[in-house]
Amino acid sequence: MTDRLCTLVVLDSVGIGFLPDATDFGDHGADTLGHLAAAVGGLALPNLTRLGLARVPRDLGPIAGLDPTVEPVAAYGRMVEIANGKDTATGHWEFMGLVLDHPLRTFPDGFPPAILGPFLERIGKPRALCNQPASGTAVIHDFGAEHMETGLPIVYTSADPVLQIAAHEDIVPIDQLYAWCEAAYDIAIPAGLGRVIARPFVGDPDSGFTRTSRRRDFALDPPQRLFLDDLADHGVRVHGIGKIPSIYAQRGIARSTSTADNDAGIDATVLAMQRREDPLVFTNLVDFDMLYGHRRDPEGYAACLEAFDARLPELLDAMRPDDLLLITADHGNDPTWPGTDHTREYVPVLAFGAGIPPMALGTRDTFADLGRTALDFLGVPTSLPLGTSFLPR
């Protein structure tokens, strides 16, 4: 058991330029960081720049506002996703040594009768409301009143392989909503989706609707062994913050903390680092993707990045000299790109602390290098073949 602390922070969707195979995904030319920086006239990210973000290899030129002449204090590079997909689960699973050879399914036109029909039959409802990709806050605004009048489920999806069910807590008791999600899980997961999510809300048409904290994710269990299993087998506790526990269906997660937004995620991460009860703190900050990438809002995305940058010193101050902080992303979501889907991109990787010298890590062959580095740092062996630790560099 190590007394070292590794903190892994995923900036959800902060890609750094299209991958060589991006044409296969319709994303040749996408560049989340580069395009949003250009759209707002430059980014102000002094702390990420100090960690080396401006020095990350790029085929698309400098990022507006980031000064590559600033001497980094961390190691910096980029990683290639080799799994066949560009969704949250696919990227996170590759971090932990699992590569899917086929992507999970998404439904950009809503769910077909083959999925929706059996679900409605199971729950005894004649039809569903919405059945389209939608924002979770917009969908309750648009369909909340009709849902309250009819009791029909609000079913929607996103660019991720998920089926989401929204219901008012006064109309559909929370246990009933969870039962609806379990019924949907039995149908949707065999059809290729990765998660079913319960989205309870409250309020009324006059004062407005708000989502409650009783969200629950019903996630596909990763189909093969993960680095997280190695950590658990060796007694190394992992604290999953944000949507990390649901992404891995709780596999290898000893402690879970749900969060409402990036600020809550940073608060929880800093507290976990200070308490030092779990050697690996693993956080996903989702606002970049959920609130700004999918909604194609470069101004909001830029402001969100700058807000994270302003709080980054809190993470650095919570570290001890032998601790390691790893910052990365799981895919892209270029807010200037057509549509509302994720984009197939390289992701940055920044490594600070633990005596790591400022240096270029180059282009890493797989996202799994991140997980292998965490295992190496924590002294945990693995039998999984994927990934190469960059600590020996």
Q: Flag whether pLDDT at 194 surpasses 60.
A: yes
- The pTM of this model reads 0.91
**Percent of the chain whose pLDDT exceeds 90:** 89
pLDDT single digits (tens) 260-290: 899 999 999 999 999 999 999 999 999 999 8
Please give the CATH architecture assigned to the domain spanning 6-103+221-378. Answer: 3-Layer(aba) Sandwich (3.40)
| pLDDT given for residue 129 in this prediction | 98
Q: Write down the pLDDT at residue 392.
A: 87
43, pLDDT greater than 90? yes
pLDDT for the residue 2:
61
Domain ranges of the chain: 6-103+221-378, 113-218
* Beta-strand runs (E) in 123-253: 129-133, 154-157, 162-168, 195-204, 208-211, 216-219, 238-241
- CB atoms under 10 Å from CB of 223, counted, come to 8
> Per-residue pLDDT averaged across 345-357, rounded?
96
Give the Cα-Cα-Cα angle 155, 161, 165 (nearest 5 degrees): 20
Cα torsion for 199, 202, 204, 210, to the nearest 10°? -70
Overall size of the chain counted in residues: 393
Percentage above 70 pLDDT, the chain: 99
Report how many helices (DSSP H) and strands (DSSP E) the chain contains, helices first: 12, 14
CATH of domain 113-218: 3.30.70.1250
Say how far apart CA 140 and CA 198 lie, in whole Å.
13
Domains 6-103+221-378 and 113-218 share a fold: no
With 0-12 / 13-18 / 19 or more C-beta atoms within 10 angstroms meaning exposed / middle / buried, residue 149 is exposed
pLDDT at residue 1, as a whole number = 46
Query: For residue 232, what pLDDT band results from cuts at 50, 70 and 90?
Result: very high
Mean pLDDT across the stretch 22-37? 97
Of the candidates 105, 110, 106, 115, the residue with the CA atom closest to the CA atom of residue 129: 110
Q: Running DSSP on this structure, what letter comes out for residue 188?
A: H
The β-bridge partners of 241 are 257, 283
pLDDT at site 155: 98
Least confidently predicted of 60-69, 209-218, 261-270:
209-218
pLDDT at 76 over 70: yes
Q: Is the pLDDT of residue 233 over 90?
A: yes
